[in-house]
Amino acid sequence: MTSHDVPITGPVKNAPSQSGTSIAERRKRQYFDMSENDLLTPVPPFPKKVMLELSNGCNHACLFCANPHMQRQVGRMEPDLALRLIAEAYEAGAEEIGFYTTGEPFVHRELARFTAEASRLGYRYIFMNTNGALATPERAKPVLDAGVHSIKFSINAGSRETYRSVHGKDDFNAVMANLESISRYRSEKSLALWLAVSMVVTRPVAHEVDELRARVMPFVDEFITFECGSQVSQMSAAEQLLAVGKEDPRHQAVCSQPFTVLYLTQEGYLNLCCIDYHNYLAVADARMRPLKDVWLAPEFQDIRSRHLNGTLAGTLCGACWQGCRETSKPLRPEFATVIDKKAFDDHVEALIRRRLPDL
């Protein structure tokens, strides 16, 4: 099971006021308030929200994340494909766009260009999540000037020492400097930017939550904490070793994601989930057909039907949402990188124990 990044604490609102929407509230509505039952159908209307995996690469190696262990080939979305998908999604009815899923958005050198194009088209909410190490003033200012509405820094420790252990990089001071630089720049330019910091609470950093909150709140609008989850069952070893406490987030019978959000991988595949690192939930190739058609592809209709009738065993969705113990298999093997799950879990556990020998 996974927490789906469900916040376990709400936003703190004592930072400089900026126009925007609380990320915690947006996530709460996304995962818990599926009151619009007309969306729960194998053929839902085109979603209002689209997320592009500009790259599945990341410059950090966080202990709780599957990215550093990923066996799928690392790449970047081709600029022409990204621009086409951004335009097609908007024309089809999307209103919000996020430039990240499994990787770090600043890995892609064209991030500012994509942000500017989304802004020009008229997306009302453009957002991204970053570890912040690459969000230097030189890289960040063009993105801010291009019209991004929300940036969330993922800072998962409150001190340089624990940050190095959790993130695998000694970037704590650099990230803090980049955060403060963006905060100053938005004030100087009077930018309508919602700036937030999130922290995944793991055992090594549980005592540093208040320390990090106090450190960042003078510069941001919101500080939120997330539980350490299994990332759709892909990081079971990390959850067992690092989780502080778990709450079951599945307060509804059906996961909203396949019905309400369009996820596109860096290869151009339509995926059911934002944290599928090996494309086990990829269902169609958006390079070959218009997005409107891909959204209603027979393969996607089939897995939505399985969500509705609860027959998800043997899929990552089943492992996450229903706690199924069957080995997960890709929905479309030709899109996926098939892994040995036991060997993967053993590798993850060994790495965590090496980096945190006191566990």
pLDDT one-digit tens code per residue, 190-229: 999 999 999 999 999 999 999 999 999 999 999 999 999 9
266-316 pLDDT per residue, tens: 999 999 999 999 999 999 999 999 999 999 999 999 999 999 999 999 999
Higher pLDDT, 246 or 109: 109
Residue from 328, 231, 158 nearest 1 by CA: 231
Spatial distance between the Cα atoms of 248 and 251, rounded to a whole number of angstroms: 8
Distance CA 330, CA 316 (A): 8
For residues 34 and 257, the answer to whether their CB atoms sit within 8 Å is no
Q: What are the phi and psi torsion angles at 283 (to 5°)?
A: -120, -20
Q: Are residues 154 and 178 in contact, defined by beta-carbon separation less than 8 angstroms?
A: no
d(CA 285, CA 80): 16
Beta-bridged to residue 249, according to DSSP, are none
Closest CA to 280 of 312, 253, 310, 251: 312
The model's pLDDT over 52-69, given as tens digits with 9 standing for 90+, comes to 999 999 999 999 999 999
> Which pLDDT score, from 0 to 100, does residue 32 have?
44
The encoded tokens of residue 138 equal 């030189």
What whole-number distance in Å separates Cα of residue 111 and Cα of residue 104? 11
